[in-house]
Amino acid sequence: METSKNNKFHLKFILLYIFLLFSPLVVNSYIPDYNIAINCGNSENTIAHNRTWVGDDNDNSNIFSFIEPKSTNPSLTLQPNSLVNAQTPFSSARISLSNFTYSFSSITTSPVFIRLHFYATSYNHSFDPSNAIFSVIVNNNLTLLENFNPSLWHHEDDDEKITKEYCIQIQPNEKLNITFIPNKGNTSNLYYAFVNGIEVVSMPSFLYYTNLDDSNYRFKFLDFDQEYQILKDIALETVYRVNVGGTQVAANDDDTGMFRNWDSDLSRYLEKRYPQSEFSVFGNPLNYLHNTIPNYTAPENVYRTARSYGMDATEDYNVTWNFEVDSGFTYMVRLHFCEIDYKIKNKEDRIFQIFIDDIMAEKAADAIGWSGAPLIPVHKDYAVIMNSQQIERVNLSVKLQRVPLTINTKYRDVLLNGIEIFKVSDTSYNLAGLNPKYLTPKEQESPNQPPKSKKSHIVMIVVVGVSCLLLALAVVGTIVFVRRRRTFETPLEMEESSWKIRKESSSTLPSHLCRYFTIAEIRAATNNFEDIFIIGVGGFGNVYKGYIDGAIPVAIKRLKSGSQQGENEFLNEIELLSQLRHNHLVSLIGYCNDGVEMILVYDFMQRGTLREYLYGSDNEPLTWKQRLEIVLGAARGLHYLHTGAKHNIIHRDVKSTNILLDEKWVAKVSDFGLSKVGPTGMSMTHVSTVVKGSLGYLDPEYYLRQRLTLKSDVYSFGVVLLEVLCARPPLMRSLDKKNVSLVVRFQRCYKEGVIIEEMVDPFIKDSITDECLKSYCQMVLSCLHDDGNQRMSMSDVVGALEFALQLEMSEEDSKFGGTQEKGKSAKMIQYPKFASDDGSDMRFTSSSGDYGSHTSKVSIISATSEDQPLFSTDVFSEVGNQRAR
């Protein structure tokens, strides 16, 4: 494994998956029959992460033996110079200038993982990490590592701890000898070998090795029409193992019993230049009933998160992951799939294409086609040879693209849940390659790049006159840039090496995420900020509608000058905003900052705000189903803010004017203006802050006690849910006192048992069933609970709204029986069938209103590191709101 489970976010990432009802905390679905962990260079046995790490410096000869030639320099047991962050097994090392061997007897007959842990730091001042160069050989014939220098392997974002993982199968009755051999040096340069931890853990026989008796499961060599098998005499190195769309699943907690580490795909592997990719979490239990794959194949957390375009992205592009590998080897690429989108229920609903190393691997990938139904995990394996003229580090990419229009599929979208990449030992039984260089893949044209060739002819005509000005602007801009950025590169260089930059510094501008507009471009788009282009006026500036690149409508938010916000904060916030990508969030397209102007450019939302379709306008009222779809979309967007991004983000100003609608009626949450990066870690469960937000939507806990939590957004969203149901503003001063507040009136009605129907918008009254209304109202009550802890989470809200929508659809079905609609909803009703193992068909069967206990709860609390930017000042208020009033 190239990366380590102990990167610096280790302690700060707390991943809680609680499957309350359906999945009674199954921790390990596989229990290894051979499981040894050695704490090298230590005389103590220590218990860490629920397993015992045995010291190699005392008598554990019943478990393994440590062997070194007597004639040579004896090995040493040393501690790293800094013990900060050095947990087991990194708190000590076995170090030697000579060969040494760990020998294991009575190995199981099943294949085993060998994991080697290295902390590439200085030991005892005389052992510098740059002199640690060595080989590792198994049983005198399999080479795992050669000229290996661990200090060259760590990424910027982990702290020099490297774990390498291998899969091998030992002959029965054979010993397993792992030998460390330092490179030959000379008198002035002595090389040494070291290791901090060794694991030998058995795995199921056919997890990665091919079962020749199972004719159903075969896989192909890409580019050759030939079957490929992983047989006993092959050794594998796990080079990458990635939880796509999710957070890291660390070896010690959430794997299925084999202590595998699953990295997050986001920071290192996902090409983010156009990242509409989506994070999705779905509350239902996964299903292994169809016997597709065993449940230990990958942890549930891997299958519960995925990436896709987002359902209504319109542009064709490849969702791409890049992995640096050694040329000259064959790789087994395993892709994990599990359909988790509730809308996709049938074969051929979501068909897409897969390319591995730019070779077409699937021209009609179909997760449900393979697995039989939603929520059933499945994986597909491929073998690919990485050829090249010389031995070098090359890029192995995995790309997903929508199918051409000629192929019939309901959703032209892609899906991937997990990636594993294994290097296959070559004919000389070797796995060793080069030390990494973290190469930069060839840059393709970025869709977000300023169009260089598309300049309009008008510009061409005046180009002579303006070019001097532009040149001057560019120079000024460059200087401003240099001053501001520590790791400055010219925009062009940044473009070319954005892949590398991402690893180097978190403070670099996300040029691959977010476009930089010149002030000239902005002036051209808004006719020099002409008033007729204004579509909204907010406390912090005007919002203009403009067209970029001649045709693409955008919302341009011009922050008032003289604001308190410094340029650094502005850029920090842009960086954060531009990383938030979700189908139900208004996307930041770019920004402009010429020293005086601070301008943000957003996707333009054709239909304006949700409120305009509820009351106070001439718009045709929305149907109940449309309303449910809109609030469900908005709930998903908020859920993403709360859990899906790197930091959990509190929106702080959820209201019906901050939910915008695009031309397809897709709801997008806007205005993260008051957003603030959420609490960090367990010690801080809320953010103390000056009360901001909008009257009528404020969480009572927030304005009474200045306690801002994720649940403050849930409260405000509850108010929106009521507005949607009743089609009236949260506060109406014109009404008599006890009815001024919508929330108070609703809660009173409920308490006094007054018929709630009286409050419901007359336009939709007839189309809501009692059952749907009841479940909706219970959800709203829970959202509006005075005590934040008692409120449901945003993920529960999503689940409850999905349920309400189902009820509504099945209602429509019975109304329009026999029509086309029927076929559609019939499937809908069937849908809960796979929702639970016990045959009960609904997620919310209780009438207690306690949704929490009837849904699988998924909560992810991710925390931020200190060096991450915080949302700071008010200037971002209403930033994303193009129709701010």
SS3 category, 186:
strand
Structure tokens at 462: 């005046």
> Which tokens hold the place of 542?
């005007």
Asked if 401 touches ligand NAG (CB under 6 A), the answer is: yes
In angstroms, the Cα distances linking 196 to 79, 83, 86, 161, 199 are 10, 13, 10, 10, 10
Q: Which of residues 46-65 bind ligand NAG (CB under 6 A)?
A: none
**259-279 b/e (C-beta count within 10 Å ≥ 16 → b):** bbbbbbbbbbbbbbbbbbbbb
The residue within the footprint of ligand NAG, chosen from 7, 42, 99, 877 (CB under 6 A), is 99
The reply to whether 90 sits near ligand NAG by the rule CB under 6 A is no
Report how far Cα 293 is from the mean position of its chain's Cα atoms: 24
Instruction: Give the footprint of ligand NAG on residues 355-394 (CB under 6 A).
Output: 355, 358
Distances (CA, A) of 848 to 775, 777, 852: 10, 12, 10
Residues that are catalytic = 653
Where does this chain touch ligand NAG (CB under 6 A) — which range of 172-180, 578-586, 783-791, 835-843?
A: 172-180
Q: Are 95 and 78 in contact (CB under 8 A)?
A: yes
- By CB under 6 A, which span of 310-318, 555-563, 667-675, 681-689 interacts with ligand NAG? 310-318
Here the tokens at position 840 are 């009960």
CB 593 within 8 A of CB 627: no
C-alpha–C-alpha distance, residues 458 and 450, integer Å? 17
User: Cβ 141 to ligand NAG, closest distance in Å?
Assistant: 8
Q: Does 314 bind ligand NAG (CB under 6 A)?
A: no
The β-bridge relationship of strands 534-538 and 359-365 is unpaired
Contact pick of 62, 186, 789, 820 for ligand NAG (by CB under 6 A): 186
- For ligand NAG, the closer of residues 358 and 837 by Cβ is 358
- What residues contact 639, with CB distance under 8 A and at least 6 apart? 281, 794, 795, 797, 798
Q: Which stretch binds ligand NAG (CB under 6 A): 160-168, 171-179, 227-235, 628-636?
A: 171-179
Closest distance of CB 491 from ligand NAG, Å: 22
What are the angstrom distances between the C-alpha of 145 and each of 25, 297, 502? Answer: 38, 27, 28
Give the integer Cα–Cα distance in Å for 419 and 429: 25
Q: Cα–Cα distance between 181 and 160 in angstroms, integer? A: 21
The DSSP string of 9-62 is TTTTEEEEEE--SSS-----S---S-EEEEETT-SS-EEETTEEEEESSS--TT
Residues 317-356 that bind ligand NAG (CB under 6 A): 317-318, 355
Taking CB under 6 A as the rule, does residue 189 contact ligand NAG?
A: yes
First to last CA, the chain: 53
Counted residue by residue, the chain has a size of: 885
Site for ligand NAG in 574-633 (CB under 6 A): none
Using CB under 6 A, which of the segments 12-20, 169-177, 194-202, 382-390 binds ligand NAG? 169-177
Q: How many residues belong to the site for ligand NAG (CB under 6 A)?
A: 23
Q: What letter does residue 731 receive in the DSSP assignment?
A: B
Residue 175 found at the interface with ligand NAG (CB under 6 A): yes
Decide: is 399 part of the binding site for ligand NAG (CB under 6 A).
yes
CB of 193 to ligand NAG, least distance (A): 10
Closer of 87 and 98 to ligand NAG (Cβ): 98
Q: What is the DSSP letter of 85?
A: T
Decide: 397 and 439 in contact? Cβ < 8 Å: no
* Interacting residue with ligand NAG among 181, 249, 325, 378 (CB under 6 A): 181
Residue from 46, 60, 139, 739 touching ligand NAG (CB under 6 A): that is 139
φ, ψ dihedrals at 505, nearest 5°: -155, 130
User: Of these, 177, 322, 689, 865, which contacts ligand NAG (CB under 6 A)?
Assistant: 177
What are the helix (H) ranges across 75-219?
none
Smallest distance from the beta carbon of 103 to ligand NAG, in angstroms? 5
Question: What's the CA gap between 79 and 92, in Å, rounded?
Answer: 4
Q: Considering only 24-32, 179-187, 260-268, 742-750, which stretch makes contact with ligand NAG by CB under 6 A? A: 179-187
Locate 872 and state its tokens.
């700071």
| Residue number, 170 or 879, with CB nearest to ligand NAG | 170
Does 128 participate in binding ligand NAG (rule CB under 6 A)? Answer: no
Per rule CB under 6 A, is residue 429 in the interface with ligand NAG?
Answer: no
Minimum distance from residue 364 beta carbon to ligand NAG (Å)? 15
Residues 6+ apart with CB under 8 A from 222: 356, 357, 359, 361, 382, 383, 384
With respect to ligand NAG, which residue has the nearer C-beta, 133 or 742? 133
Kindly tell me which of 413 and 796 has the beta carbon lying closer to ligand NAG.
Answer: 413
149 binds ligand NAG (CB under 6 A): no
Residue 676 assigned ligand-binding role: no
449 binds ligand NAG (CB under 6 A): no
CA separation (Å) from 44 to 47, 53, 64, 400?
A: 10, 9, 15, 49
Q: Quote the CA–CA distance of 815 and 808 in Å, as a whole number.
A: 11
Using CB under 6 A, pick the residue from 18, 69, 391, 754 that binds ligand NAG: 69
Which of 187/389 has CB closer to ligand NAG?
A: 187
Q: How far is the CB of 401 from ligand NAG (least distance, A)?
A: 5
Residue nearer to ligand NAG on the CB measure, 188 or 528: 188
Q: DSSP letter for 322, please.
A: E
Considering only 183-191, 511-519, 524-532, 761-769, which stretch makes contact with ligand NAG by CB under 6 A?
Answer: 183-191
316 binds ligand NAG (CB under 6 A): yes
- Our CB check for ligand NAG shows the closer of 23 and 103 to be 103
Q: Can you say which residues are annotated as belonging to the binding site?
A: 557
List of residues contacting ligand NAG (CB under 6 A): 67, 69, 72, 98-99, 103, 139-140, 174-175, 177, 181, 186-189, 316-318, 355, 358, 399, 401
Binding residues for ATP are: 557
